[in-house]
Every structure is written in C-alpha cells, then in structure tokens.
Amino acid sequence: MPSQTQNGRRRRVEEDVEEEDGEEDAYGEAEDEGEEGEERGDDDLDRKARDLVRLALFNEQRRTPLRRDEISKKVMGSKSRRFAEVYARAQQLLSTTFGMELVELQHRVEEKEPPKEAQKEKDKDKKDKNAPGLKKKAAPTGTKTYILRSKLDPRLIKIATSPDADILRSEQEDLPVDDERPKDEDERVSDPSGSIIAWENADNLGSIGLLYVILSLVLVHGRNLPDTELKTYLRRLRLTPNTTVPYTSRVPLAGMGLTLEQFLQACIRQGYLDLQRIGDAKGAQKKRGRAPAATQAANAADEGVVYEWRWGPRAQAEVGEEDIARFVADFMVERARREAAGGDEDEDDEDIEDTPEVRKMRERTLGGIERAAGGKLAQLS
C-alpha cells in the first residue's frame, strides 16, 4: 500500500503536468491570436495602400500635388507610424497596375546671387573662396508633397505610338458610316491612327506644347527668364495675353480653352512654373519673393519691378531638364537638316535618318544648351 508521501508526490507531479499542459494551451492560443493579428494588420495595411492609390489618382486628375498631412488625415489615421510600409505597398500597386509611381517634389536649389553677377564676383577675386556673390547651392530638400509620374519605358511608348496594320484595319471596321457620323464638333469621331497610343487624338496637346516651349526658353536663359523677355518671345509666336490656348487637339470650341494669362497662372498653380520677384529694374534692390499671379508681373512692369520665370518643382520631377534639352535639340537638328536639304517642313520626322552626322549635330546642340543653362542638366531622379 503506497505511503502518504508517495501519494503526495504523485499528486504534485499530476498538478505540474496539468500546469504545463495549461501553459502550452495558453501559449498555443496566444500564438494563434498573434498570427491572426498579423494577418489583420497586413490586411489593414493593404487597404490603406489601396486608399492611398485612389487618393493619388484623384489628385493627379486635378493636377494637384498630394500633401503628406493629407495622406495622414485621409488614409493613415492612427497608423501614421506605418507610413513607410503603406507607401511601399502603394508604390507596388501603382507600378504593377498603372505603370506609375509616387515622386516627392523637391525644393528648388537657390543661389545667393544671379549667375551673371556671381561670375563677375568670381572673376574679381578668384583667390577668396568666401567672396560674396559666388554661387552657393544648398542641397535640395523634400517638400512632403507628392505627384504621380509614369514609369513606362520610352521604348515601349515608342512601340505603342507606331502604326500597326492590324490595329488600323480593326479601327476602320469600327468606324460609323457617313450617315451615322455625328455632325456636332464636340462629338466628332477621330480618324483611325492604327496605334495603341494616338497622340494626335489626345487632350492638352496645345497646352503641353506651349508649356514645353516656355520651359525650353527658361532653361536656355540660365534657368531664369525675365517676364518681359518671355512676353516678347511669346508675341513673336503670335501669343498675346488674350490668345486662347486650346484644350483639345481638335478644333477649339467656345469656352474650351484658357487665355494665355490664365494658362500661365494655371502652370504656376500646378507647380510647372514659378514666378519670382527679384527687385526693381535698376538693380537697386535685391528683394526676392513669390508673385501671387502671372498678371502681377504685367501690372508691375510700369512700376519698374522685375519678375523672373523659373521651373517649378513639378516640372523638375515630371519633365526634366535633360528631356527638355533633347526636345530642343531634336527640333533644331531636324530644322537644320530640312533647310540644308531644301525639304518641306511638313514632311514626317521618320524621313530624317539617324546618321552619324545627325547624331554628332545633336550632341553639339545638347552641349550648347547645357552651356546656355549655366551648368550640368539635371536628370529625373
């Protein structure tokens, strides 16, 4: 018959086993709850990433930069510390679904003095590294505002814009007969192009072309173009303050466009251009400040106030100095080749072969543009 000591020892062992079993069950339940919590957390982050994508697309439709505080308020909520994870997941969604990416806008790198005055000071005293007037550029910093930018490979875009016989045949078969064609201009059916992307049928062609011309003029004038000079160039293109900039690539309709002044204000508001007050015409002042509207420059011209046009942060992030330089170089090279050959300016661009001579001419032109800009051309980051 077991002794009382043995019975007590057996009871203690059984109690220890029961306690261990209870601890294992509790640990297992906690582990299951932890896995479920992680799954719920991942689902929540995925949902917030989708919300961020929708918000970015909505703002891009209005050409409005997306602010970090707006993301925190409308998307992150109490999960503001998880912004980096949500941002990365949103970037993945944008890339795989839309071929786009979020890009943070950067503050413009400022100079202590305009480039010409800086060069004068530099020539006057080359030995003094701290001489006043030398260009001292600060490192660009983020603005905590974001825009959407295409990630599509330029080679893919070139293929998509090239005519294809099968696509053209399919488009021609889908065309309505003459009796069914709409007579109203705003309902006019575009002619088939035979390409996946047809630039000639896109909206904003006129305004984008004008914007690129203005960005080009600013770039080749040392990145700073006085307002009076810009208006002079535009008048040579028969663009006056009341000229209508067409919205669509088709015949402009009544009300479907902006005046030149309204267009410039829209470019400032959307971040493509920047208009800065730099002082009076005699150079007695060196005050700098942002002009509230493009019309202020015209009104202040009689008062002797000087305004300068510069690239805005959106142009730096979306267009890029190198691409604008290539845009100018291609135009100048093609024009020079046509004039030398006595050809028609209405000929297709494909008629000009990319020969070694053409490539050499383009490189020389790009070098001249870089020198006119006053320094190395910035690349898209």
Q: What is the pLDDT of residues 278-297, one digit of tens each?
A: 876 554 444 444 555 555 55
Closest CA to 308 of 377, 218, 378, 235: 218
Q: What is the mean pLDDT of the chain?
A: 75
Strand 273-280 versus strand 305-311 pairing type: antiparallel
Asked if residue 180 is part of any domain, the answer here is: yes
pLDDT digit string, tens, across residues 196-216: 887 766 667 778 889 999 999
- Judge contact between 117 and 128, C-beta under 8 A: no
HSE-up of 206 (CA within 13 Å, CB side)? 17
Work out the widest C-alpha separation in the chain, in whole angstroms. Answer: 124
The whole-number pLDDT of residue 112 equals 40
Distance, CA of 135 to CA of 124 (rounded, Å): 14
Contact 101, 89 (CB under 8 A): no
Residue 268 has pLDDT above 90, yes or no: yes
- Can you tell me which residue has the tokens 């902006």? 258
Cα–Cα dist 283/62, whole Å: 39
- Say which residues have a Cβ less than 8 Å from residue 84's Cβ, sequence separation at least 6: none
Let me know if residue 87 belongs to a domain.
yes
Query: CA–CA separation, 116 vs 327, rounded Å?
Result: 26
* pLDDT greater at residue 264 or residue 12: 264
Tell me if 57 is assigned to some domain.
yes
For residues 334-360, give the mean pLDDT: 69
Position 36 in a domain:
yes
Let me know if residue 371 belongs to a domain: no
Instruction: Give the domain-ending residue among 173, 196, 219.
Output: 196
Task: Give the HSE-up count for residue 149: Cα atoms under 13 Å, Cβ half-sphere.
Answer: 17
Residue count of the chain: 381
Q: What is the reported pLDDT for 162? A: 85
Lowest mean pLDDT, pick from 40-49, 120-129, 147-156: 120-129
Per-residue pLDDT at 297: 56
Amino acid letter, 174: D
- pLDDT tier at 69 (50, 70, 90 boundaries)? very high
Spatial distance between the Cα atoms of 316 and 106, rounded to a whole number of angstroms: 8
- Measured between alpha carbons, how far is 298 from 357 in angstroms, rounded to an integer? 44
Average pLDDT, integer, range 259-284: 83
Whether the predicted pLDDT of 96 surpasses 90: yes
First-last CA distance in the chain: 87
Q: If you write DSSP's letter for every residue of 15-54 in order, what string do you get?
A: HHHHHHHHHHHHHHHHHHHHHHHHHHHHHHHHHHHHHHHH
Q: Provide the residue range defining the domain that includes 94.
A: 24-102
**Residue 190 CB neighbour total at 10 angstroms:** 12
From start to end of 72-158, where are the E strands?
Answer: 100-106, 142-150
Torsion angles phi and psi, residue 280, rounded to 5 = -90, 170
Does some domain include residue 48? yes
**Of 102, 118, 152, which marks where a domain is finished?**
102
Model confidence at 103: pLDDT above 60: yes
| Inter-axis angle of helices 260-270 and 205-219, nearest 10 | 70
Tokens 């070139």 belong to which residue?
158
175: left (phi over 0), alpha (psi -120 to 50) or beta: beta
Determine the pLDDT at residue 172. 79
Any idea which residue has 């109203």 for tokens?
184
Give per-residue burial for 320-352: e unless 16+ CB within 10 Å, then b: bbbbbbbbbbbebbbeebbeeeeeeeeeeeeeb
Any bridge partners for residue 308, and if so which? 226, 276
Give domain status of residue 135, yes or no.
no
Q: Dihedral of the CA atoms 152, 153, 158, 163 (nearest 10)?
A: -60
In a domain, 346, yes or no: no
**pTM for this model (two decimals):** 0.71
Residue where a domain stops, chosen among 102, 132, 151:
102
Please report, for the domain that includes residue 91, its CATH number.
1.10.10
* Number of structural domains the chain divides into: 2
pLDDT tens digits, one per residue of 27-56? 444 444 455 555 667 888 999 999 999 999
Token pair 């251009």: residue: 273
What was the pLDDT predicted at 280? 61
**H or E element, residue 175:** none
DSSP at 139: P
